[in-house]
Structure 1
Amino acid sequence: MKFKLTLWLFAFLLSSTGMAGDKTLIRIGALAFGTVNWELAALNKENLLANAGFELQIIPMANPQAGKIALQSKAVDLIVSDWIWVSRMRAGGSDYTFYPYSNTSGALVVPADSPIQTLTELQGKKLGIAGGELDKNWLLLQALGQRQNIELDDAVTKVYGAPPLLNQQLLQQRIDAVINYWHFAARLEAKGFRQILDGAEILRQLGIEEQVPSLGYVFRQSWANRHQQAIAEFLQLTAEAKDRLCRSDTTWAKIIPLTKAKDSATQDMLRQRYCEGRVQKWGKANQLAAEKIYQLLRRLSGNKLTGSSEQLQAGTFWQRD
């Protein structure tokens, strides 16, 4: 089955409960260069959709905000986003819900020969921060600094910027370290740069042992209730696609062009970090850990990231009937 790059006008004309023949139509809004495209492509290249009970339509999105707008306007049924946004929207009366997609998170990276080994040695340095002042990795890094009596917000010179630009700044020695999204951090590692902490290690040092995916598939609860078999099959098949990408060199080779990585070292590092992010466990303990993270982010952002709700909203994480 060929993936369809559908015009926005056509997307809006389709209803959220549309059917493709006798199959449920699932319209997913995916970033043009997002890693979710790797497993969506693998669904096609591995022929996993041949007997699926749903029809998949991929609608390219220019950026994460465009995906959220498309979901809210019912131009798509599903996007990849974060559970903090889901909780905030539920507090406002929406019925969005979240199912884990990846455990992989950002990382703090320095040059191989950098003297920086700990957060203490980060003081007085120029730190590149992807995602702005409300980036979750940056906020959690500040929480870890506070545990070590370091106010990183005051102790470093903050340089905000787009992820690829920050990588260039580090390569050109204009900044001393960067906390960047995982795939940009992986590209630096492939060039010999050194990872000090990733998101999972930050959480462990904050006393949170359970893995909590920051990204997941987001969709309306009401839509999922109407199409439970289709969404369950979609999630099962995408997990199978991800496993094949990690188990089979042949499957991985088919999607390498999507990584935009020209050298084998970068391709291998991207694959390693991507596969480390596979969600192996997701249950009550992980969701309780998410509540702890929510409280940290709420305090550190002054409610700017989470909204005014004092707690993670019930229903944020999808529970199958």
Structure 2
Amino acid sequence: MNIKLLFLISIALFSNLSIAAENSTIRLGVLASGTLGWELAAMQNEGLLDNAGFNLETVAITNQQAGKVALQAGSVDMIISDWIWVSSMRAHNNDYTFYPYSASAGGLLVPADSNIKTIADLQGKKLGIAGGELDKNWSLLQALAQQQHIDLNQSVEKIYGAPPLLNQQLTSQRIDALLTYWHFAARLEAQGYRQLLSGEDIIRQLGIQETVPSLGYVFKQSWGDQHKAALQQFLTAAQTAKDKLCSSDQAWAKIAPMTDTNDAATQQQLRIRYCQGRVKQWGSAEQKAAEKIYQLLHQLGDNKLTGKATQLQPGTFWSAD
């Protein structure tokens, strides 16, 4: 059974789910290829929503941009997105806010026998970049290179594209290295490709030791405040499902077909990287670290990624208190 069919089945199951201890409903935008679908399936498999005090409705979205559009249009209450976008929206008087989902942040991959060992070795090479010129990992990699007096923007041949296409470009030797999202990186690692740097490595080499989530649940603060009990219950169930997938081989086996591969090594590497992305600590230290990352990003690319706001906007990170 392929991933799209599994996703549609999952959407149908959750759309028909009626748990009406109260009137709160959470309309959640879900990518067919995203790991959120794994957790929703695990929630159902483990009975984590059997006595929930809310209704959960899932809405299929085609990509992250479509999710943002749906959220702004009021078609969904919550999506998975990044805190940079949330801050930029708050700078324009929108009350979106962010709660951590994952710290997995992609990686820089090269063939196992590549002579690329350092950032300096990327100069003169063809570099594939998933997410386009405003990709956060690409910006942070440039910041790290600048500390070594290297201008990657000028010294590499940049190839932008969709992650699956770039994976093919690397395996067919049309590019020399690839900066991509973590799950596409994991698939390459399972084939023997070498991760030169993870997104987390880049951040640490920039002098930031705290683990900062790359993606999170994004919703309107006003909506979160109005549905606080239901939201907290959902977030607890989601974390429990994530932990179960990482601790229980049986729970993982049930959702393994959703990884869209029958290769055991690839499934295992996906599980490893997925579990490494669990957010185990989220407090003032991590939020201050996010502010440092924001400052680094704001200094790059003519502020195209962060916008004109010089600081991370107050309220970017949601607090249930």
Is 1:239 matched up with 2:239?
A: yes
Per-residue CA deviation, residues 64-109 of structure 1 (Å, 9 max, x unaligned), is: 1111111111111100000000000011011000000001011000
* Equivalence map 1:26-175=2 (5 Å): 26-175=26-175
Tell me the CA shift for residue 279 of structure 1: 0.4
Task: State the Cα deviation string for residues 205-237 of structure 1 (Å, max 9, x = none).
Answer: 000001111100001110111111100010010
CA distance in 2, matches of 1:60, 1:45: 20
Q: Is the CA contact (8 Å cut-off) linking 2:20 and 2:53 kept in structure 1? A: no
- Describe the superposition over 1:102-131 as per-residue Cα deviations: whole angstroms up to 9, x where unpaired: 010110000000011101111111100001
Cα distance, 1:23 vs structure 2: 3.8
Amino acid in the other structure paired with 2:190? A
In structure 2, the CA distance between the partners of 1:172 and 1:212, relative to structure 1 (3 Å rule), is: same
Following superposition, the deviation at residue 261 of structure 1 comes to 1.6
Whole-angstrom CA distance in 2 between matches of 1:250 and 1:303: 46
Amino acid corresponding to residue 184 of structure 1 in structure 2: F
> For 1:187-202, what aligned pairs fall within 5 Å after superposition?
187-202=187-202
Task: Indicate the percent of aligned positions where both proteins have the same amino acid.
Answer: 62
Mind listing any 5+ residue stretches in structure 1 that lack a counterpart? 11-18
1:264-303 correspondence runs (5 A): 264-303=264-303
The list of structure 1 runs, each at least 4 consecutive aligned residues, that deviate by more than 6 angstroms after superposition, is: none
Structure 1 SS opposite 2:40: helix
TM-score (norm. length: structure 2): 0.94
1:302 is paired with a residue of what secondary structure?
helix
1:22 Cα offset (Å): 2.7
Distance in 2 of aligned mates of 1:249 and 1:123: 43
Aligned-partner residue type, residue 314 of structure 1: P
Aligned AA (1:143):
A
Q: Provide the rounded CA distance (Å) in 2 between the counterparts of 1:301 and 1:87.
A: 17
1:232-261: CA deviation from partner (whole Å, max 9, x where unpaired)? 010010000000000000000111111102
Residue correspondences, number: 309
Amino acid at match of 1:137: N
Where 1:22 maps in the other structure, the secondary structure is coil
Counterpart of 2:80, as a letter, is V
Name structure 2 gaps, 5 residues minimum.
1-8
Query: Deviations along 1:165-219, whole A, 9 cap, x unmatched?
Result: 0000000011100000000000000000000100111011000001111100001
Distance 2:146 2:10 in 1: 48
Deviation at 1:20, TM superposition (A): 4.7
Offset of residue 5 of structure 1: 4.0
**In the alignment, is the contact (CA less than 8 A) between 2:21 and 2:53 conserved in 1?**
no
Q: Please tell me the residue identity of whatever aligns with 2:199.
A: G
**Using the alignment, how far apart are the partners of 1:41 and 1:156 within structure 2?**
42
Q: How many angstroms does 1:46 deviate by?
A: 1.0
Give me the CA root mean square deviation.
1.4
Secondary structure of the residue aligned to 1:127 is strand
Aligned to 1:318: 318
Are the counterparts in 2 of residues 186 and 270 from structure 1 also a CA contact under 8 Å?
Answer: yes
